[in-house]
Chains A and B, each alone.
Chain A
Amino acid sequence: MFTAFQCIIRRDLLLALRRRSDIFTTLFFFIIVVSLFPLGIGPDADTLRLIAPGIMWVAALLASMLALERLFANDYADGSLEQMMLTPQPLFLLVLGKVVAHWLVTGLPLVLIAPLLGVQYDLSVEGVEILLITLLLGTPVLSLIGAIGAALTLGVRGGGVLVSLLVLPLYIPVLIFGAGAVEASVSGLGAEGHIYLLAAIFVMALCFAPLAAAAALRLSME
C-alpha cells in the first residue's frame, strides 16, 4: 500500500522534473503578483509592512489555484488516471500521493521564496519566521482542498474558472488564520492561537480532503 503511495509521488515528481516550466510558472506568478502591489500602492515602508502578510497569502492562494488544473488533468487526458483507479490500492491514498507531489512541486517553492519577498516588504525577522511557519502549514491545506475542486471539475467545460469559484471560498479560513498569525506577531499579540487553528485545519484537511477528492474522482470517471 505504501509502496503504491511512494510510487505515485516518485512518478509525479519525475514527470514534473521533466517539464520544469510548470514549476517555474507557478513560482514566478507568485513573485510577480507580490511585486506588483508596491507598484500599485506606493513604496512607503510602513504601509507595506502592514499589508505584507495579506498580500503574500492572497498571492499564494492564487498561485496554488492556478496550478490545480494540472493536478489530475494530464493523467485524465492520457488515461493513466483510469488505470490508477483500476488498481486494487485504496484510491484516497493515490489521491494523497498526487497531492503530496503536487505540493512539493508548487507549494514548497512558494514557501521557500516567501522569506525573500518578506524582506522586500520590510517584515521583521520574527514576522518572516511566522510567515514561513504559516505558509508551511497552510499551503498543503490549499493543495488538499484544491484537489476536491480539481476532481469535481475534471473534464467539465470552463473547468479553470469554475475551480476558482468552488475552491476560493473554501480557502478563506486558511487565509484568515495565515495572514492573521503574521499580523498578530508583528503587532506583538503572539501568533500561537492562529497557528494552532491553522494546524487543526491542516489535520482536518489531511484526514478528509483525500476521501472527498477520491469520491469526486469516482464521479468524474463514471
Chain B
Amino acid sequence: MASGSINWFKYSAPSNFYVLAGRIVPWAAVLAVVLGVIGLYLSFFVAPTDFRQGEGYRIMFIHVPAAWMSMFIYVVMACWAAVGLVMNTRVSFMMVTALAPTGAMFTFIALWTGALWGKPMWGAWWVWDARLTSELILLFLYIGFMALQSSISDSRRADRAGALLVLVGVVNIPIIYYSVKWWNTLHQGASISLDAAPTMAAIMLWTLIVMTLACWAYTIAVAYARARCIVLERERNTTWVKELVGDQKHG
C-alpha cells in the first residue's frame, strides 16, 4: 500500500467492517428514501404520457431498474466471491451472502412487473422470450445459491461452495445480455445504449436514472445492514462482539 492511500485491508477485519458498515447504512437508507420519493414523483407526475403505450409504460420506472439491479447484483456477488477466494477474506463472503436475498427480490420484481407490463402491451402475462427466460434462470441461480448455503452447516465451507457456485453461474449474465441479439424475439430491443442517442425522452431517461440510483442506495443499505447481522452472528464468540453487546445491555 502506498502511503497516503486508504488501507482497504483494514476493513477486511470483521470488527472494522462492522463499524464502517454501521456508518454507511443510515446514509444509504436516507439517500434511498429521498431518491425514491423524487423518482416516484417524477415517474407519476412529471414524465409525459407515452404516445403509443399510454399510461401503462410508467411501470418501466420500476421494471427496468429492478432488471438492471438483478443482473448487476449477481456480478457484484461474483466479484466479492472472487475476492474472497483469492484474498481469503471472510468479509467478502459475508457480502456475497448478504447481497443474495436482495438480488433475488429484484429479480422477482423484474419478472412480476414485466408480467404486469406485458399483459396490456403484448396481450400475455408471460411469453417464452429469451430475456424473460434468462431472468427466470437468474432467479433459479439466486435460489440455488441460497439453498446451497443454507444446507451446509459449516460456515467456512458454505461460504466457499457458494462463492464457487456464483462464479460458475456468472457465465449466465452475458447470455442474458446478448440474448436479445442472439434470439431476437418479441421483447423490444434495448432502448438505451452507450454509443447511440437514447430513443426515449430526456425526462424519462432522468426519471429512470433517479429510480436506478434509489435502487442502488436501497441495495447498499440493506446489504450492509444484513452483513452487519452476519458479522455479529459469525463473530459471536469474539471479545469485541461480547463487549459491544454488553455495552448495549448496560448502556
Q: Is the CB of A173 within 8 A of B161?
A: no
Contacts of A157 in B (CB 8 A): 151
For the A-B complex, the count of residue pairs with Cβ-Cβ distances under 8 Å equals 54
Chain B residues near A158 (CB, 8 Å)? 151
What is the interface of chain A mostly: helix, strand, loop, or mixed? helix
Q: B151 to A222, Cβ gap below 8 A?
A: no
Answer yes or no: A84 CB below 8 A from chain B CBs: no
List which B168-215 residues lie within 8 A (CB) of chain A. 168-169, 171-172, 175
| Contact, CB under 8 Å: A173 / B140 | no
Looking at chain B's contact residues, the main secondary structure is: helix
- Residues of B in contact, count (CB < 8 Å): 22
- How far apart sit A170 and B147, CA to CA, in the bound complex (Å)? 15
Q: Is A112 an interface residue (CB 8 A)?
A: no
Known: A158-B151, A212-B168. A219 touches B144 (CB 8 A): no
Residues of A within 8 A of B147 (CB): 162, 165-166
- Is the CB–CB distance between B160 and A169 below 8 Å? no
Q: Indicate whether B157 reaches chain A with its CB closer than 8 angstroms.
A: yes
- Chain A residues contacting B140 (CB-CB under 8 Å) are 165, 168-169
User: Is A170's CB under 8 angstroms from B168's CB?
Assistant: yes
- Which of A165, A169, A212, A222 sits near B172, CB closer than 8 Å? A169
Q: How far is the CB of A142 from chain B (nearest CB, A)?
A: 14
Query: How far does the Cβ of A222 sit from chain B's closest Cβ, in whole Å?
Result: 6
A153 proximity list for chain B (CB < 8 A): 148, 151
B169 touches A169 (CB 8 A): yes
B161/A169 in contact, CB under 8 A: no
Instruction: List chain A residues, Cβ under 8 A from B151.
Output: 153, 156-158, 162
Contacts of B171 in A (CB 8 A): 170
- Complex: A196 Cα to B151 Cα, angstroms: 38
Beta-carbon contact of A166 and B144 below 8 Å? yes
Decide yes or no: A156 and B168 within 8 Å by CB, A165-B147, A172-B137 being known contacts.
Answer: no
Could you list some 24 contacts between A and B, CB below 8 A? A148-B164, A148-B165, A153-B151, A156-B148, A156-B151, A158-B151, A162-B151, A165-B140, A165-B148, A166-B148, A166-B165, A168-B140, A169-B169, A170-B168, A170-B169, A170-B171, A170-B172, A172-B137, A173-B175, A212-B167, A215-B164, A219-B157, A219-B160, A222-B157
Query: Which 7 A-B pairs have CB atoms at the shortest separation, nearest pair first?
Result: A169-B140, A166-B144, A165-B144, A219-B160, A152-B161, A169-B137, A156-B151
